[in-house]
Amino acid sequence: MIKLQPHSGLFSPVDSTIYELFRSKLYDGVWFAEKSQPDIFNISENFKTLLDYKPTDSVAWNDLISPQDLPGFTEQIQNISNTEYTSCTDIRFIHKNGNHLWMQTHIYSKSIPDQIQRYVFIAFKDITDQKNHELKVKRQQLRDNDILNGSGIGTWEYNLITEKVVFNESCAKIIGYTLKELNEKESNFWDNLTHPDDLKRTRHLINEHVTQKSSGFKNEVRVKHKDGHWVWVMDIGKVLSYTEDGQPEWLGGIHYAITERKNGELLVQQYKDLLEDVNEAAEIGIWEVDLKTNQVNCSDEIKKIFGVPLFFDLKLDDVVGFMKEGKSRQKMIDSIKNALEEGENYNIEIEIITVDKKTLWCRAIGISEFNNGECTRYYGFFQNIHDKVIATKELALKEELFRKTFSHAAVGMAVIDLKGSISKVNKSLCNYLGYSNKQLLEKNFDQFSHPLDKDLSDKFIAELLLGKRESFQLDKRYIHKDGSILWGHISVSSVRNEMGRITYFVVQVQDITERKKNELLLINYKDLLERSNAVAKIGSWEIDVNNYNVSWSSSLNTILNTRKDFTPTFFEFIDYFIAEEHRKDAILTVKNALEKGMSFDIQILANANDSDPKWVRMIGISEFEDNHCKRLYGLIQDIDAIKKAQCEIIIKEEQWRTTFNHANVGMSLINFNGEAYKVNPSLSDMFGYTIKEMQSMRIKDISLEEDFEKNIEMMSKLMDGTIENFSQEMRFIHKNGNVIWANVSVSSVKNDFNRFTHMVAQLVDITESKTNEILLKKYKDLLERSNKVAKIGSWELNPENHMLYWSENLKRLLGNKEYKAHNFSDSIIDYVLEENHEKMAYLLNNAMQNGHSFDFELQLKTASGLRWMRMIGISNFKNGICKSVHGLVQDIEEFKSAELEILLREEEFRQTFWHAPIGMVLLDLNGKIARVNPGMCETLGYSEKEMLAINKSELSHPDDLEETNKLTQQLLSGELESFQQEKRYFHKNGNLIWTILSMSSVKNDKGQTTHFVCQVSNITREKLLTESLTEHNNRLQNYAHIVSHNLRSHTGNLSMLLELSEMNHKSGFEDELFEHIKSASNNMCETVNHLSEIVEIQNLIKNTLVPINLRKRVKKSLQNIRTAVSQVNGEVVLKVNKELVIYGISSYVDSVILNILTNAIKYKSPHRLLVIDIRATKIKGYMALSIADNGLGIDLEQHGAKIFGMYKTFHDHKNARGIGLFISKNQIEAMGGSIEVESQPNIGSTFTIYFKDEDN
């Protein structure tokens, strides 16, 4: 119960004070209750009023508190301790109208010692408004946060002084982190993630913002996402707070991702660029018509298309003017009209005529923006599509061509894709297969193939696909719609697209069904005929396809052993006559024949009446027409005997074969010719050949030469029957050349006429035992002879009495046959050189006392002088006691001297090598330098050590290396023994060194190349000399050429001018001076001509020489001088063989011969009639042509040295100019020949010209 009127007298003074305080205006209500009864509260009136109750209403306090806060409140009340208690909480109360009121609740309780009753006071203050506001703010903050987070906008704050950064969750999310991750990172983390380019700008912007106090900054930055990609982020911020001294402190702002927008922007930019590029490339231009002026603003591309200059302004009419007159122009005009008046867009292809009169196909696209019946904007595109149109038109033409060919072809044609689906088919093929065009297009071409031929073309198709072939042809069966079999000759070719890939096949099918049918029939008939003729026991049969009645020939009755007049029906026949195990097959076969037209030829067991089943061959031929069997007939042949015999033979053969093949003994059947036509594996193993090889072996191939005749004789005896068989040990040759021994037994096999048919040979390999036997014999023999041959003697020393025993051989070796055993020390003195006495004695004693063996070389005194011997001593030492010492003495004088000789040679070589003036190098087979001599080191400037370490190819001039390697390879392969090469090396100082490299291979006793010897002689100086000489020569030649040429033009001019003056002033220039000028000019001309001629000769290259018939040339020259000769009554004797051929240049040869001949005429003796003798002989590989005259002759003693010189004359003759022989000599030498002269004054001259002949 609640006391309505609290009584102040109840309280202690302290409590009273509290109560009064609580009741004051400071609070909106107060409760109190006795501590002992905490659930009975006295509630103040004003509290009740606050909750809209009347002061008189009795109210249950716990109904007033909101259920959410009630438990907390109750607990609080109950927990009030005994000591002083105060608390302050916010609690919700329920207003009478159901609203909640927030009350700040102060609880106060104090125990006072002398007070019995203790009270609990609770004061309330309505804080609903504040609370609601607070909550609103809180909620708003939460909502803002949610919004920020939800929108993905991140916020950040940055302390400019401490550099502390605070981010929110979204900020982290933008770049793929959680806030936690981000906060764990160092403070400059964000900056590190930002793209350096953008960071720079941000810093700049922040700086600007801070210093200029602008309203904020804004930047678009790229930040690295956790995944590694860049995220575009909008970064907006401003200074949030300043420090007291006015410094900016906190910078705050937001981030949000703008990647998509940014990417979009970039994409747009890209596309824009792309579009422009494409437009240019595709020759697309944009235009727009100014509707007021009819001016067409068009992009450069359009002007380029029209061919007008770029600065040119076009009117709409101008544009129309470019259209080709007629269709194109009309179309354009109509389109423009429609666009302007009706607002219709257009997209047309038209022809235009460009400025330079070219016709181009273009596409014009016009777009008209039409508002309220009026065109407000008119623009569009213009594109050059000429090439495309032309290409399309051409293509269309080709396509049309193909289409016509395709559809009207007499052969069936189809276009199939790689899987065989038919994409196109012509009428012929439809007719052929019996389907309509439409039906065929739904089908796969493969399904028309006859099942048996289905795979025929697979291989070819595969090859087509691999590009191994372009097409193939074959005969193949197809099935017609009505089921009949069609034969087709098909030809398939692949078609490639522009990428070179096979896209489809073109199949052409030629109907050859009729032909094929006839072919098969013919084959059947032929076969039948042949078989009938060949075999006797044949009966024929025919099945009536309508009632399955069988008619058969009487011979069948015989075969099957039935009544003569018996004719069964088909089924009877099957049931009665065909053995059960074959019945099924037979029925199937016949069925196939009837239904599918398949002919057959089978062997089956037939039940003959009253006897065992017999084998018959049954042949059936089905005549098949229109998918029906018209006739089925055939033969039955009794092949019982044959079949049975065959079976038996097969069994026997098998038995024999097994024995033959698996026998351990080599077996073979040998025929008349001595060929082993059958051999078993053991035999082939024995001989090392394969069975096949073995079969082609003759007795000769496997016999030893010395045994061959004997073997043949044995065989002949077997063949002619002299002996039935033989058995003996024989030798043969294994495939590897070894001799094998075998126990051979051969018997002849005869046929029933007692005639030899073949031999059966059995061979047991006894090679091993035989070989051992022989080896033993050989070794024994060898041992017997070895001592003698190898010059080995043996000796034995008895350690007890020191007696030395010699073998006979030793006696012979030392040349003392009379030797008797005596003390070894005597022997030493007698036979060992003094300087070795001590050593020999020591070794022998050591052997006896310590069991040490010895082996050394020394010189021994023999009857034939000192000889090198090898002395081997072996001590037989057991349990510390020497039983015996024995040994060998071997005469090694020859070896030793050879060895010494080699040493000597080696030393010689070493000396040569080291002291050779040229470079020498030993190379191993890998081309590495093994040894090098000082000469080489000097040539190249390296020390020996450097040379050994150097990579040889570094030394060589790179251009020469390939040749050297090639030649070295040939040395290695043995093609060459040695070679020489002119080769360049680099000196250590970098200079080029010319050398002649001779390289030869050094071989060991087995003929294997072990290393190479190189000799390198330095020819740098010679080379340089030659080079400079060549250079010099070239210069000289050029000089000569220029001189002759330039001189020529001047002299030419001079003579021309003289001629001109003479012509113009005929009368005035008759004086002497002019004549002299003229003569000087002429001489000059001539001289220059000669000079030119000689230079010309020098220019000639020797390899232009061609074979020339000498006699023909001489005769030609004689022709030229014939008149001159006859004028002087001269005589020419020509003795030049018709076949003689020289190498030269015919014009030179002519000139030389003519020159000498004219000389002979010119300088003939006035006292004698001229005789010229011309003859040719071969001398030292040259063809010598000698021309002898009996003329004036030349005094060679006086003039010999200069007879072939320039401007040398030896006769006081008016025609002598002294140039002819000079030129001749030059010409001859240019042809690689030479000229000689013999002459005596007043007797005559003989000129001998040596030409190159064919051997040269």
Partner 1 sequence: MKTINTICIIDDDPIFRFGTRKMMENVHLSLDFLIYKNGKEAFDDLLPKLWEDTNLPDVILLDLNMPIMDGWQFLDELVKIPNAERIPIYIVSSSVDRRDIDKAKTYKIVNNYIIKPFSVAKIKDLIEELTKTN
Cβ-based nearer residue to partner 1, 814 or 1097: 1097
Cβ-based nearer residue to partner 1, 745 or 1098: 1098
Cβ-based nearer residue to partner 1, 257 or 1094: 1094
CB 742 within 8 A of CB 686: yes
Rounded least distance, CB 1069 to partner 1, Å: 15
By CB under 8 A, name the one of 1056, 1134, 1169, 1179 that touches partner 1: 1056
User: Nearest-CA neighbor of 45 among 63, 26, 62, 58?
Assistant: 58
Please give the Cα distance from 324 to 916 (Å, whole number). Answer: 94
Q: Does 1227 bind partner 1 (CB under 8 A)?
A: no
Q: Does 1079 bind partner 1 (CB under 8 A)?
A: no
Q: Does 1098 bind partner 1 (CB under 8 A)?
A: no
By CB under 8 A, name the one of 1059, 1075, 1131, 1254 that touches partner 1: 1059
Size of the chain in residues? 1256
SS3 at position 52:
coil
CB 677 within 8 A of CB 698: no
Cβ-based nearer residue to partner 1, 956 or 1044: 1044
Q: Does 535 bind partner 1 (CB under 8 A)?
A: no
By CB under 8 A, name the one of 960, 1093, 1173, 1195 that touches partner 1: 1093
Strands (E), 1004-1062: 1009-1018
Q: Which stretch binds partner 1 (CB under 8 A): 105-113, 757-765, 1088-1096, 1203-1211?
A: 1088-1096
Please give the Cα distance from 846 to 875 (Å, whole number). Answer: 9
Q: Which stretch binds partner 1 (CB under 8 A): 61-69, 654-662, 872-880, 1092-1100?
A: 1092-1100
CA distances (Å), origin 1093, targets 94, 621, 1038, 1088, 1222: 142, 98, 14, 8, 11
Tokens of 239: 């200074």
Tokens of 636: 């039955």
Q: Does 1045 bind partner 1 (CB under 8 A)?
A: yes
CB atoms closer than 10 angstroms to residue 806:
20
Rounded least distance, CB 1230 to partner 1, Å: 12
Q: Which stretch binds partner 1 (CB under 8 A): 25-33, 452-460, 731-739, 1060-1068?
A: 1060-1068
Q: Does 1041 bind partner 1 (CB under 8 A)?
A: yes
Q: Does 1048 bind partner 1 (CB under 8 A)?
A: yes
CB atoms closer than 10 angstroms to residue 594:
19
User: Nearest-CA neighbor of 319 among 382, 388, 386, 389?
Assistant: 382
Tokens of 635: 């033969």
Tokens of 656: 């024999």
Residues 6 or more apart whose CB falls under 8 angstroms from that of 1055 comprise 1081, 1082, 1085
Please give the Cα distance from 649 to 646 (Å, whole number). Answer: 5
Q: Does 510 bind partner 1 (CB under 8 A)?
A: no
What is the number of helices (H) and of strands (E) in the chain? 41, 49
Q: Does 452 bind partner 1 (CB under 8 A)?
A: no
Number of residues that bind partner 1 (CB under 8 A): 23
Q: Does 1053 bind partner 1 (CB under 8 A)?
A: yes
By CB under 8 A, name the one of 1055, 1087, 1177, 1246 that touches partner 1: 1055
Rounded least distance, CB 1021 to partner 1, Å: 35
Cα angle, residue 426 at apex, residues 421 and 432 outer, rounded to 5°: 90
Instruction: Tell me which amino acid residue 959 is.
Output: D
Q: Does 583 bind partner 1 (CB under 8 A)?
A: no
Tokens of 9: 């007298």
Please give the Cα distance from 108 to 92 (Å, whole number). Answer: 19
Rounded least distance, CB 491 to partner 1, Å: 48
Cβ-based nearer residue to partner 1, 807 or 1055: 1055
Q: Which stretch binds partner 1 (CB under 8 A): 14-22, 228-236, 694-702, 1054-1062?
A: 1054-1062
Please give the Cα distance from 414 to 424 (Å, whole number). Answer: 5
Rounded least distance, CB 1046 to partner 1, Å: 8
By CB under 8 A, name the one of 74, 183, 345, 1089 that touches partner 1: 1089
Pairing between β-strand 1171-1179 and β-strand 1182-1189 as defined by DSSP bridges: antiparallel
Phi/psi at 695 (5° precision): -65, -25
Q: Which stretch binds partner 1 (CB under 8 A): 87-95, 899-907, 921-929, 1040-1048?
A: 1040-1048
Q: Does 1146 bind partner 1 (CB under 8 A)?
A: no
Cβ-based nearer residue to partner 1, 116 or 1101: 1101
CB 1018 within 8 A of CB 939: yes
Cβ-based nearer residue to partner 1, 385 or 1108: 1108
Rounded least distance, CB 364 to partner 1, Å: 39
Cα dihedral value 328, 329, 334, 336, nearest 10? 110
Q: Does 1085 bind partner 1 (CB under 8 A)?
A: yes
Residues 6 or more apart whose CB falls under 8 angstroms from that of 561 comprise 608, 609, 610, 611
Please give the Cα distance from 967 to 952 (Å, whole number). Answer: 16
Q: Does 1049 bind partner 1 (CB under 8 A)?
A: yes
Tokens of 385: 């599509």
Rounded least distance, CB 357 to partner 1, Å: 20
Q: Which stretch binds partner 1 (CB under 8 A): 672-680, 972-980, 1042-1050, 1148-1156?
A: 1042-1050
SS3 at position 1110:
helix
Cβ-based nearer residue to partner 1, 87 or 1089: 1089
Rounded least distance, CB 1249 to partner 1, Å: 22
In what order do the strands lie in the sheet containing 248-257? 165-167, 154-159, 248-257, 230-242, 217-224
Pairing between β-strand 756-765 and β-strand 739-750 as defined by DSSP bridges: antiparallel
Rounded least distance, CB 1205 to partner 1, Å: 23
Residues 242-281 that bind partner 1 (CB under 8 A): none
Q: Which stretch binds partner 1 (CB under 8 A): 73-81, 145-153, 972-980, 1091-1099?
A: 1091-1099
Q: Does 1096 bind partner 1 (CB under 8 A)?
A: yes
Q: Which stretch binds partner 1 (CB under 8 A): 274-282, 294-302, 932-940, 1084-1092?
A: 1084-1092
Binding site for partner 1 (CB under 8 A): 1041, 1044-1045, 1048-1049, 1051-1057, 1059-1060, 1063-1064, 1085, 1089, 1092-1093, 1096, 1099-1100
